[in-house]
Structure 1
Amino acid sequence: MMRPNDPQNIGAPRRRIDGPLKVSGTAPYAFEHPQENPAYLWPITAPIAKGEITAIDASAANALPGVLLVLTHENASRLWIGTDAALKVLQSPKIAHHGQFIGAVVAEDAQTARQAAALVRVTCDARPFDVEFRPDANDLEIPKKVGGEPGEHRRGDMQAAWSQAAHQVDQTYSHPAHFHNPLEPHALIALWRDGGGSDGNKKRLTIWDANQGVLTAQALLPPLLGLLPTQFEVISPYTGGGFGGKGLPHAHVVLTCLAAKALRGRAVKYAMTRHQMFATTGYRPASHNRMRLAADAEGQLLGIEHHITAPDSRLKSYIDASGGGARMMYAAPACDTVYHRQMLDISPGIFMRGPGEFTGAFALETAMDELAHDCGLDPIELRLRNEPKVNPDNDKPFSTRNLVACLNEGAAAFGWADRPAAPRTRREGEWLIGLGMAGATFPHVYMLPSRCRVRFLDGRYVVQLGASDIGTGAWTALTQIAADALAVPMDQIKLEIGQSGLALAWLAGGSAGTYSWGGAIIKAANKFRDKHGDTPKEGAHVVATSRPPKGYKDYSMHAYGAHFAEARVNTVTGEVRVPRMLGAYAAGRIVNPVTARSQMIGGMTMGISAALHEESVIDPRYGNVVNADFAGYHIAAHADIGKLDAIWIDEFDEWFGPTGAKGIGEIGIVGVPAAIGNAIFNATGIRLREMPFTPDKLLMAAETAQ
């Protein structure tokens, strides 16, 4: 219970606790932690897409003054137990993809390391390879599982639904691979000791890493490196953006740890370049989506079919689970989702903000707009007519489902009533103007137990758990939750997160951080007050573990949203502008409106970037990403982003835990490309089904239509 005079912090727009440190440049990111006499690493990467190293000549590199180590598969330490093939660095001469790490140079300074790496001569036996994604390839296969769901899932009779339909949509929607480019590149410092060092640290290996949580590093790296969990520590108090790409350790972490092991007692620093990140730190794989919608004369869905085809790496499998939205978003008696993959000699993909839901929604929500046009219905009205009472895929009731409220309140706030009834009816000079919208959902991904420790030291409550702030505001939101749970002002809370050795907690991923960590904090706070009261003694402490609410598996649990976009299309150049966009969300209890809004408009910004700009190209002759830098891989700049706003529905979802919060980190991006593409259609009458929506596609479509 709150004390009568204590202000309530949850729901209040508190400023970021870490803000002063970040704007003053004193918040240490991974590469910035001070070290005594550090060494610097530069990698040697594979020049071919597939084959084997037959010879390495490092003599010129070793002769360069300042070089401390040339590390290759010939002299690297053997790795121990590990299931992730991408982490088995320098263990054999085999090459699985272009840009793979095949060695490293460590030197007294970064410039020398880079110069020496260029002097290492590597001879390779190149083998035939295939890196070109072809959705119509004859060697496609249906995987057994994709993200925990069946590779082939069927409900009802889709064929009968199709034959009975008065309205049909049968189209394909696609996008290229999208690459993570957080403000802070992947970077780390690794220090390997013999143990029992003079500084009193008993750890054998310490890494200062840019990651989304210490848990995955703690779980994967010690057995791989032959260490006990107690011999390994991770320090990551601040991370400059992750978006999924820093959720798991990548090969560069193992590479740097192997170098540190060879140079025991000397810290080794490595910050990746943008170019290197395109080859080894994961990406959102391309996908090709065939979507079929069957509806009766009134626009009521009879069936939904979503066939997903994606490339997959022979080294390590990853496919986005993008069929979930088709199965539960709208009421339809029949629904088929089928995945196909093409095995290629490429680097592995990984989850990227809104994995699966982002690409699935582009197909589903664009197809729904096409169906609305065919039925002569407003796109919102079509969705209202197909609102399910329970999850149509498993008949479970929804924990909360306020999609209708998002649609209605978002439409009112955006001015949807002003939408042109037909394409090409609103024009200002060279610009055609249209409005579009799309629905969005993001599921409850997991609810694994998290632990929290509360101590009373020096007159303050020290709240410790292995959470992570990747720029989302966790430092502030968790302090708010702790202050209210302990019924004290925020300045009496000292939060400790971002390092191993604290109470074990889940990573910042799957939009599950706040409600998972917050539940653990509330449980520990309640336990502390029950045991120690309002006047605890110095040193008083408790540890508590959060558990999912009993019976939560009986409910279908999702966050929802509706995106509204205005698009302006230049009839001369084909240029697309999005001067304004609104997201309306139902994401449970909002802990901090300031940081929540930041996440929501951040998601919209990323969605606009993918919709209008981001496109990668792989050279089929060599297997490399041709435009692996910001000169060729364009992301949205300030000038590309117009007025963004976010509103939300007031709701509390008890099935997500005692905070009542749902995930907000990813729902902001999910429906953005579809909303923009639908707005382009409303402006021009041209339907674009392939991201990004670039001028050449619009001009070619306009010429074809003439």
Structure 2
Amino acid sequence: MKFDTPATTNPIDRMTVVGKPIDRIDGKRKTTGTARYAYERNDAAPDAAYGYIVGSAIAKGRIDSIDVTDAKAAPGVLAVVTHENAGKLAKAKAHTANMLAGPNVQHYDQAVAIVVAETFEQARAAAKLVRVGYGRSSGSFDLAASQSSAVKPKDGTPDTAVGDFAGAFAKAPVKLDQRYTTPDHSHAMMEPHATMAAWKGSKLTLWTSNQMLNWAVRDMSETLLIPKEDIRVLSPFVGGGFGSKLWIRSDAVMAALASRAIGGRAVKVALTRPQIMNNTTHRPATIQRLRIGAQKDGKITAIAHESWSGDLPGGGPETAVNQTRLLYAGANRMTATRLSVLDLPEGNAMRAPGEAVGLLALEVAMDELAEKLKMDPVQLRIVNDTQVDPEKPTRQFSQRDLVGCLKTGAERFGWSKRNPVPGQVREGRWLIGMGMASAFRDNVAMKSAARVGIDKKGVVTVATDMTDIGTGSYTIIAQTAAEMMGVPVDKVVVLLGDSSFPVSSGSGGQWGGNSSTAGVYAACSALRDSIARKLGFDPAAAVFEGGKIRVGDRSASIADAAGDAGLSAEETIEFGDLTKTYAQATFGAHFVEVAVDSATGEVRVRRMGGAFAAGRILNPKSARSQVIGAMTMGVGAALMEDAIVDKRFGYFVNHDMAEYHVPVHADVPHQDVFFMDELDEKSSPMKAKGVGELGICGVGAAVANAVYNACGVRIREYPLTLDKVITGMPQVA
């Protein structure tokens, strides 16, 4: 099915199942512990051995020698694999570093060996006996120090320019020119990177924690130099990823090598939390400069956003300027992205890459501009709304209700009660403030396929290699199939997370829900046609409901059409050029109230609220969970998350959950989430858009703006730790 014209009325519009707050169909398995994750698949391989990865002790250089004699002689050890005996390997095109170092080392904690033993404890103990001799080279680990040597990235669209920014900025009666920084972040998901690998002849099976199974098959094929057809990846349950599991990591590759070294017997590998922090990917730090010129009525006449970030050689930038190209009007515009070579672990996608950190800067800059103008921050954003792409004015937005989000969010939150003068509202020793920010995240649709079948009992089964990373994929796919086939949800069986199933969009970039359900929609449409033709109904006129197909006064059971053999259909949805014709994005507005301790500088978030426009909401309950989780991550980015680099040796020092701080229950207050009534016919036949990453976009800036309103301390270097807050406190405390 090709989606290249806007959707018209279709069966999803009935909204008898889709759009309802149905409980997660996988919820019972998750809460009772019967949903088995990658490391728990004892049912598939009860005799699995265990692997423990040895990571590089240097950040850059060479391996001069590896002595595994003592490790191999340790109790229970079955094999030790290094680059010297692993066989021929290649680097998957999706990665900037090899999953196994040798002889060159590209970053700290890069895998240099794996020890395989009968038990985990034996493997871990023997790993300490591997002796590695290194030749250390000097590396680059400091973004600020390398900023002057940063270059324009080769791929993508690093720079844009419209009109005469410099001239318009010089003439603007009100100007802002500020620098903002964001630190490195870790994904910190609950389930670690984990894999169990087993060989049967030339065939490799991986039970792994991965968001994109088709990419995993591709990457393993490229790395191990074996055909894709010889690889099967299973990932039915994923305990969080946030982008860190978009691609295979060392757990998958090293488990496969370890299994091959012991004759194909299954081997389990799970990365420890320190290994996750330094061996896998992270969100790279940024340095950003915002310049905005405006008329006295608040209308922006000039806006420029420049961003610097770093990555390993061959890597890419953090695209922090992307939202500035689309969010606000202004005739004269400029954006620029620059990339430094840093010898830190790989920088890559983390929930809402680009916008999550770009809005941390842009939305504070807008707050500062509003203060210069003596204008309400909400009104400033409304004044600069646009219904067309500011860089390409002939391209309209498919749907854009930012103004509705701003007004609705403000009303629900009680924004009108805010005192615009900082430091004026007290409750005892606590200074109280409110802040807000716009939310923006691009909308992407990805090709996606599914197979849908029905049996003689009327049970509908959906199979697709889509993953559920804690986001509710099982449930919204079941709702889609139930709506299309006219059956209740409990008559739908959903099979996910197996690369032998039709290739879906996978989970990432907030494209998963909209794209994968659109693929199921396409397959169900094909199955509906097959049922109608078999029973002699006109497919175009057929209505499916109550387990029956009906045209006029005539009806028949769809189970009868299936018969003993059953019926099935497989279809793929492909997206045409509507994204070129229309700008597609999701929007929102965040509102936050904080309290700042006037004596200590401690910040507590007291209330959060947001209104969001993201097309049809397929399941309000799971969508709300997505947003409150994202808002919580935004609090972390604002107040505590900071992967601290040892700039001498090139690694993240605080590489565990004791020292890398993330929000816990006590940090998160009541969160009010409101979804605007919106359909986007240009997005997909579901008329939905992504929502998973929208909730993190802007919320950190809203926290920062609330802190300023509370105590008058403007912090432009995230996170807003109390040492930074308390520096400016004596003037108001």
Please state which band the TM-score falls in when normalised by the shorter chain: over 0.9
Residue of structure 1 equivalent to 2:335:
337
1:72 is matched with: 82
Matches within 5 A, 1:145-156: 145=155, 148=156, 150-156=157-163
Structure 2 residue runs without a partner (length 5+): 1-8, 533-548, 550-557
Corresponding position of 1:503:
502
State how far apart, in whole Å, the 1-side matches of 2:294 and 2:525 are: 52
Q: Is the 8 A contact 1:79 1:91 kept in 2?
A: no
Show the counterpart of 1:8.
Answer: 16
Which residue of 47, 50, 70 maps to 1:40? Answer: 50
Q: 1:2 to 1:394 in 2, by over 3 A?
A: closer
Hey, what does 1:99 align to over in structure 2? 109
User: Of 694, 715, 719, which residue of structure 2 is paired with 1:692?
Assistant: 719
2:168 maps to amino acid? A
- Compute the displacement of 1:136 (Å): 6.4
The 5 A counterparts of 1:136-151 are 137-145=147-155, 148=156, 150-151=157-158
Q: CA deviation at 1:3?
A: 9.8
Counterparts of 1:220-299 in structure 2, within 5 Å, are: 220-299=219-298
Residue 216, structure 1, aligned to residue 218, structure 2: no
Aligned-partner Cα distance in 2 for 1:91–1:109: 25
Give the C-alpha shift of residue 631 in structure 1: 1.5
Hey, what's the Cα distance between the residues in 2 that align with 1:264 and 1:87? 27
Stretches of structure 1 that go unaligned for 5 or more consecutive residues are 196-203
Pairing 1:193–2:189 present: no
Q: CA deviation at 1:129?
A: 1.8
Q: Deviations along 1:125-155, whole A, 9 cap, x unmatched? A: 111222122166432212233xx3x222211
Paired position in structure 2 for 1:309: 308
Higher mean C-alpha deviation, range 486-495 or range 218-227: 218-227
The partner residue of 1:166 within 155, 173, 180 is 173
| Structure 1 residue 163, shift from structure 2 partner | 1.3
Compute the displacement of 1:87 (Å).
5.7
Q: How far is the alpha carbon of 1:36 from its aligned partner?
A: 2.4
* Offset at residue 458 of structure 1 (A): 4.8
Alignment correspondent of 1:351:
349
Counterpart of 2:655 in structure 1 is: 628
Hey, what does 2:553 align to over in structure 1?
Answer: none
Distance 1:550 1:138 in 2: 39
Q: Please report how far the alpha carbon of residue 617 of structure 1 lies from its aligned counterpart in structure 2 after TM superposition.
A: 1.2
Which of 23, 27, 35 in structure 2 is aligned with 1:27?
35
**Following the alignment from structure 2 to structure 1, what is the Cα–Cα distance between the partners of residues 385 and 632?**
28
Match of 1:201 in 2: none
Residue type at the aligned position of 2:195? L
Measured against aligned partners, the alpha-carbon deviations of 1:56-83 in whole angstroms (never above 9, x if no partner) come to: 1111111112000111111112125732
Deviation at 1:433, TM superposition (A): 0.4
Q: Partner of 1:606 in structure 2?
A: 633
Question: Matched residues in 1 for 2:239 and 2:38: separation?
Answer: 9
Residues 143 and 318 (structure 1), Cα distance of their counterparts in 2 relative to 1, 3 Å cut: closer
From 694, 706, 717, the equivalent of 1:679 is 706
2:61 counterpart of 1:51: yes
In 2, the alpha carbon distance for the partners of 1:113 and 1:100 equals 18
Higher deviation after alignment, 643-652 or 150-159: 150-159
Structure-1 separation of matches of 2:603 and 2:101: 48
Amino acid at match of 2:322: G
Equivalent in the alignment of 1:364: 362
State the SS of the aligned residue for 1:568: strand
- Specify the SS of the correspondent of 1:566: strand
**Partner Cα distance (2:669, 2:95) in 1:** 43
1:87·1:254 contact (CA, 8 Å) conserved in 2? no
Over residues 640-675 of structure 1, what are the superposed CA-to-partner deviations in whole Å (9 max), with x where a residue is unaligned? 111112101011001111111110000000011110
Equivalent residue of 1:602, what SS? helix
What is the rounded CA distance, in whole Å, between the counterparts of 2:456 and 2:207 in structure 1?
28
C-alpha separation between the residues in 2 aligned to 1:393 and 1:367? 20
The one-letter amino acid paired with 2:70 is A
**Which structure 2 residues correspond to residues 301-450 of structure 1 after superposition, within 5 A?**
301-314=300-313, 316-395=314-393, 396-445=395-444, 447-450=445-448
Distance in 1 between residues matched to 2:97 and 2:257, nearest whole Å: 11
Residues in 2 aligned to 1:681 and 1:27: alpha-carbon distance in whole angstroms: 45
Which string of whole-angstrom CA distances, capped at 9 and with x for unpartnered residues, describes residues 597-635 of structure 1? 000000000000111111111112221211101111111
| 118 and 170 in structure 1: CA distance in 2 versus 1, 3 angstrom threshold | same
CA distance in 1, matches of 2:641, 2:181: 13
Is the 1:48–1:622 contact (alpha carbons within 8 Å) kept by the matching residues of 2?
A: yes
Q: Is the 8 A contact 2:310 2:347 kept in 1?
A: no
Equivalent-residue separation in structure 1 for 2:450 and 2:267 (angstroms): 32
**1:330-364: per-residue Cα shift (whole Å, max 9, x none)?**
11011111112221211111100111001111111
Bigger mean CA offset, 609-618 vs 596-605: 609-618
Where 1:365 maps in the other structure, the secondary structure is helix
Whether the 8 Å CA contact 2:615–2:679 is kept in 1: the answer is yes
Deviates more, 1:344-353 or 1:570-579: 344-353
Structure 1 residue 242 displacement after superposition = 0.9
Q: TM-score, normalised by structure 1?
A: 0.95
Q: Distance in 1 between matches of 2:331 and 2:311?
A: 32
Return the letter of the residue paired with 1:688: I
Residue by residue over 1:388-427, the C-alpha shift from the partner in whole angstroms, topping out at 9 and shown as x without a partner, is 1311111210100000000000001000011112111110
TM-score, with normalisation over the residues of structure 2? 0.92
**Equivalents in 2 of 1:594, 1:342: separation in Å?**
42
C-alpha contact (below 8 Å) 1:362/1:674 kept by paired residues: yes
Partner-residue secondary structure (3-state), 2:363: helix
Could you tell me which amino acid in structure 2 is paired with residue 405 of structure 1?
G
The answer as to whether partners of 2:434 and 2:707 remain within 8 angstroms in 1 is yes
Q: In structure 1, how many angstroms separate the alpha carbons of the residues matched to 2:11 and 2:268?
A: 49
Deviation for aligned residue 1:487:
1.1
Inter-CA distance 3–45: structure 2 relative to 1 (3 Å threshold): closer
CA distance in 2, matches of 1:46, 1:243: 25
Give, in whole Å, the separation in 2 of the partners of 1:2 and 1:155. 40
User: 2:506 touches 2:516 (CA, 8 Å); kept in 1?
Assistant: no
The one-letter amino acid of 1:454's match is: V
Aligned 8 A contact 1:326 1:335 in 2: no
Question: Over aligned residues, Cα RMSD in angstroms?
Answer: 1.8
Q: Look up the match of 2:93.
A: 83
Contact 2:437 2:701 in 1 (8 A): yes
C-alpha contact 1:436 1:679 (8 A) present in aligned 2 = yes
Q: Mean alpha-carbon deviation: is it higher for 136-145 or for 362-371? A: 136-145
Aligned match of 1:18 in 17, 26, 29? Answer: 26
CA distance in 2: counterparts of 1:448 and 1:699, whole angstroms? 47
Distance in 2, matches of 1:408 and 1:586, equals 12
**What is the count of residue pairs matched by the alignment?**
692
Which piece of structure 1 moves more, 13-22 or 131-140?
Answer: 131-140
Aligned pairs for 1:488-637 within 5 A: 488-533=487-532, 534=549, 535=558, 536-537=561-562, 538-548=565-575, 551-637=578-664
Given that 1:153 and 1:337 are in contact with CA atoms closer than 8 Å, whether structure 2 keeps it comes out as yes
- Measure, in 2, the Cα distance between the counterparts of 1:420 and 1:71: 64
Q: Is the Cα–Cα contact under 8 Å of residues 313 and 344 in structure 1 kept in the other structure?
A: yes
Deviates more, 1:90-99 or 1:425-434: 90-99
State the SS of the aligned residue for 1:518. helix
Letter in 2 for 1:261: R
Paired amino acid for 1:17: I
Q: What is the identity, as a one-letter code, of the residue corresponding to 2:111? A: F
Distance verdict in 2 for CA 1:95–1:528, change over 3 Å: same
Amino acid at match of 1:109: T
Q: Distance in 1 between matches of 2:628 and 2:418?
A: 23
Q: Could you tell me which residue of structure 2 aligns to residue 198 of structure 1?
A: none
Identify the residue that residue 181 of structure 1 maps to in structure 2: 188
The whole-number CA distance in structure 1 between the counterparts of 2:131 and 2:520 is 54
Residue 659 in 1 paired to residue 686 in 2?
yes
Contact 2:174 2:294 (8 Å CA) reproduced? yes
Counterpart position of 1:128: 138
